[in-house]
Amino acid sequence: MKRIIILATMLVALTTNAQDAERMTESCTSIMVGKKASADGSVITSHTCDARYRTWMAIVPARDYERDTVTAVYKNRFHTMSAVDSTGMPRLGVIPQVRHTFRYLDTAYPCLNEKQLAMGETTISGRDTLRNDKGLFMIEELSRIALERCSSAREAIRLMGELAKQYGYGDSGECLTIADKDEVWIFEIFGEGPKRVGAVWAAVRIPDDEIAVSANISRIGTLDLNDPDHYMASDNVFDVARKLKLWDGKEPFCFWKAYSGGNYLKEEKNYSIRELYIMQQLAPSLGLTNAISDLPVSVKPDKPVSVEDVSRLLGSYYEGTDLDLSAHHKIPNPKRKDKDGNLVENEPDSIVSPVANPWITSEQLAMYYAMGDSAMKWTRTVSVPWCSYSTVIQLRSWLPNEVGGVAWIAFVN
């Protein structure tokens, strides 16, 4: 009986901590680079799809439609096994179809179209009081429709905002990193609450000579809507915050303070270690440290950033730092004492664990958490073993659209 009780306790602990570990497996990273910050003039966006999503892709051809045609909107498209699989993919409704749609690359989160419009994605924190499951659109369907219909980042932002307002947004807080051959934007969207089917959103343009990172935390702060070249937002962005008592209307408005509700991964600040690390790597001269209260949305890199630089950073596990688990996952040294319990000279108190490696799975994490806080000190890395696929997309204005947009894709089995 005692063994059964101990096992049951262990299973409860595993389940509880598995929930935290599972949340970590639903988190992605996106790096953005403006055209004057890149090594060759490309605009760059990217995405690590760090979740158990599908690992197939398809090129959806451009199409023409008759008048009064409708297009269906689905849920869970990113869990299907092939382009013709619709298992577990409920149809939520329909909207009017346009007469012509563009060719696009259909990944779990559609990512690039024939007009050199591209998107990355990260799920961000959002207040539970904002979600409304009656909304028609999940984020992957909003991005699909935008890639079918739009030629620029601004056009895509406006269209997705209009569709979410008209038909409702039913997903959790989301960020899309939207780029075209001239500029890149951060677009963040939330529901409008349980009493209203709609959406609230904001978008900020990354300066051409800067880079930005989205890593599961709302990054948009102040909004200067008198500067439409750099800021866009839904027409209800202030009213919803007042109505839901998320902003008193007196202190300066901060989008993430009103709508995000905190750090998605429960890190102590309103920025991720991933964001800080990537900015440190690309702009070391700024001297950014974890001591600062908030990170800027974007920074100017010390030197031009290449596609290879972005790929390398998306594969990072904080190598060479105190957070590198391959060198800093320590356990008590079994040789510290002899068989009589006496301290052995020149033997350290701890050694690197024989299982130390940067690729800790979510199942391993749950087990370590169940063993107690001392079993492992783990920090979410940029690169994780549960990544389904990643993209680095470069958009080149000096080349024809047919060859100007390139998606570098890595799939995981």
Answer yes or no: is 362 within a domain: no
Look at residue 26 and tell me whether its pLDDT is greater than 80. no
CB atoms within 10 A of CB 11: 12
126 in the same domain as 14: yes
Separation CA 82–CA 93 (nearest Å): 22
Residue 224 within a domain: yes
Same domain, 246 and 350: no
Q: Are residues 73 and 159 in the same domain?
A: yes
Q: By residue range, what is the domain housing residue 345?
A: 325-357
**What is the DSSP-derived secondary structure letter of residue 343?**
B
Mean pLDDT of 145-162: 99
Would the pLDDT of 9 be above 60?
no
280 and 161 fall within a common domain: yes
Mean pLDDT of the chain: 89
Same domain, 221 and 349: no
User: What CA–CA distance (Å, rounded) separates 382 from 314?
Assistant: 6
Instruction: Please report the pLDDT score of residue 263 as a whole number.
Output: 66
Domain CATH for 399: 3.60.60
Confidence band (pLDDT; 50, 70, 90) for 359? confident
Same domain, 298 and 332: no
Q: What is the pLDDT of residue 4?
A: 38
More confident site: 87 or 182: 182
Total residue length of the chain: 413
**Percent helix, strand, coil in the chain (nearest 5)?**
25, 25, 50
Helices 273-282 and 307-314: crossing angle in degrees, nearest 10, is 150
b (16+ CB within 10 A) / e for 42-69: bbbbbbbbbbebbeebeebeeeeeeeee
Residues 6+ apart with CB under 8 A from 50: 25, 26, 27, 28, 29, 384, 386, 387, 388
What confidence score (pLDDT) does residue 375 get? 64
233 and 344 both lie in a single domain: no
Asked whether residue 93 falls in the same domain as residue 204, the answer is: yes
Residue 230 has pLDDT above 60, yes or no: yes
Structure-token match 């939330």, residue found: 190
The verdict on 243 and 278 lying in the same domain is yes
Per-residue pLDDT, averaged over 183-191, amounts to 98
Is 294 in the same domain as 334?
Answer: no
How many domains does the chain contain in total? Answer: 2
Do residue 301 and residue 266 come from a single domain?
yes
**Band of residue 334 on the pLDDT scale cut at 50, 70, 90:** confident
368 lies in a domain? no
Compute φ and ψ for 111, nearest 5 degrees.
Answer: -130, -20
User: In this structure, which amino acid lies at residue 357?
Assistant: N
Are the C-beta atoms of 94 and 72 separated by less than 8 Å?
A: yes
Whether residue 113 contacts residue 147, with contact meaning beta carbons closer than 8 Å, is answered with yes
CA distance 196 to 193: 6
**Rounded distance between C-alpha atoms, residue 140 and residue 142, angstroms:** 5
Co-location of 267 and 304 in the same domain: yes
Sheet bearing 231-233, strands edge to edge: 58-60, 104-106, 112-113, 118-123, 174-179, 184-190, 200-206, 231-233
Classify 373 as helix, strand or coil: coil
**CA distance linking residue 131 with residue 146, whole number of Å:** 22
Judge whether 364 lies within some domain: no
Rounded to whole angstroms, the Cα distance separating 297 from 271 reads: 10
**Residue reference for tokens 């092939």:** 82
Cα(348)–Cα(231) distance, integer angstroms: 55
- The rounded distance, in Å, linking the Cα atoms of 250 and 257 is 14
Residue whose structure tokens are 């051809």 = 61
Query: Among the listed ranges 144-158, 199-213, 327-341, which one has the minimum average pLDDT value?
Result: 327-341
Cα–Cα distance measured from residue 301 to residue 379, given in angstroms and rounded to the nearest whole number: 25
Q: What is the pTM assigned to this prediction?
A: 0.90
